[in-house]
Amino acid sequence: MSLSKKMLRDIKINKTQFISILLMAFLGVFAFCGVCSEYYGLEQTSSEFYRDTNLADGWIDGWIYNTTITDEAVDKISNFSTNHEKQLVVQSVGNFSNDPDITLHFVEDNEISKFYVTEGEDFNLSDDSGVWLDKRFADAQNLTAGDNITFKFNGIGYSPEYVYEASPTSIIPDFKDMGFAYLSKDAFPLSNVPYNVLLVKFNQNPDDFEKSLEDSVDCLSFTRQSEHVSVSQFNEEMVR
């Protein structure tokens, strides 16, 4: 009983210090819970987005060696992959006053790493004159679905390959100077599209897949999902 009275008396005498310690402990727990909740929320949201858009398990690139993805190579790769899709990825300069860098994706099927439309028309593989733009770039350039640029601007949205997009010239990306666009293969000016990237899905260990690729096809570079620039940088940002 005497110990309880002494404790209460000490708290009364040192109430300012006691309240300060209590507030510091509360703020520490509050900040920790906030950071954990944000991390969990980002992890859940990104996982759902990657699943809904069917993010590729890997990318097989021919452009590094200045070569195309041949039908023969695709036939060989299909033996140890569950699904695949060809794309032509081209770096271009947009016809705007500030000459922004725009990465063009001419899409074969839009079944892997699908473009996620948030405004405008659904992505249409039969459209030979339309383009679907990066939402962040469209917002920075004050563009809306239906505007006419070099192509008809059909819609805006996001790509799972550009959740995190780094600028080559600055620490913080300026989306007025950079962006990406998705187009149907039918929008390419030639009938024979020189595809230079193969998106793949597989159900084996990435190391095993890469070994099978090296044994089957020459002069093609492989990037696994965990090493993709957007995926790896976004994961790093979450844990900082």
Question: What is the per-residue pLDDT across 192-227, written as a single tens digit (0 to 9) for each?
Answer: 999 999 999 999 999 999 999 999 988 788 999 988
Domain contains 234: no
Sign of CA dihedral 147, 153, 155, 160: negative
Q: Are residues 142 and 215 in the same domain?
A: yes
C-alpha span between 156 and 143 (Å, rounded): 9
Q: Are residues 131 and 173 in the same domain?
A: yes
Are 93 and 102 in contact by the 8 Å Cβ rule? The answer is yes
Q: Are residues 115 and 207 in the same domain?
A: yes
Domain contains 235: no
Q: Are residues 26 and 119 in the same domain?
A: no
pLDDT beyond 70 at 171 = no
Q: Is the pTM of this model over 0.75?
A: yes
Q: Are residues 185 and 143 in the same domain?
A: yes
Q: Are residues 7 and 122 in the same domain?
A: no
Q: Are residues 153 and 208 in the same domain?
A: yes
**Number of Cβ within a 10 Å radius of residue 8:** 10
Coil vs helix vs strand at 233:
helix
> What value does the mean pLDDT take over residues 57-77?
87
Q: Are residues 168 and 102 in the same domain?
A: yes
Q: Are residues 47 and 60 in the same domain?
A: no
Residue 213 structural domain: 56-225
Using pLDDT thresholds of 50, 70 and 90, give the confidence band for residue 176. Answer: confident
pLDDT beyond 60 at 238 = no
The last residue of a domain, from among 12, 27, 51? 51
Using pLDDT thresholds of 50, 70 and 90, give the confidence band for residue 172. Answer: confident
Cβ-based neighbours of 150, under 8 Å, separated by 6 or more: 95, 131
Domain contains 237: no
Q: Are residues 44 and 139 in the same domain?
A: no
Domain contains 231: no
Q: Which of 114-123, 139-148, 204-213 has the lowest mean pLDDT?
A: 139-148
C-alpha span between 209 and 211 (Å, rounded): 5
pLDDT beyond 60 at 1 = no
